[in-house]
A and B are shown apart, each in its own frame.
Chain A
Amino acid sequence: EAQVTQNPRYLITVTGKKLTVTCSQNMNHEYMSWYRQDPGLGLRQIYYSMNVEVTDKGDVPEGYKVSRKEKRNFPLILESPSPNQTSLYFCATQSRDGTGYTFGSGTRLTVV
Chain B
Amino acid sequence: QKEVEQDPGPLSVPEGAIVSLNCTYSNSAFQYFMWYRQYSRKGPELLMYTYSSGNKEDGRFTAQVDKSSKYISLFIRDSQPSDSATYLCAMKGSGGSNYKLTFGKGTLLTVNP
List residues of A whose CB falls within 8 A of some B CB.
4, 31, 33, 40-43, 45, 48, 50, 58, 90, 94, 98-106
Contact = CB atoms under 8 A, between A and B. Distances in A.
Q: Does more than half of chain B's interface fall in helix, strand or loop, or is it mixed?
A: loop
B103 interface: yes
Interface string B69-113: 000000000000000000010101000001111011110000000
Which 3 A-B pairs have CB atoms at the shortest separation, nearest pair first? A103-B43, A42-B105, A100-B46
Contact of A103 (B44, B49, B92, B105): B44
Contacts of B99: 31, 33, 48, 50, 94, 98
- Interface centre among A31, A41, A100, A105, by most chain B C-beta atoms within 10 angstroms, is A100
B43 A90 contact: yes
A43 B42 contact: no
A101 B101 contact: yes
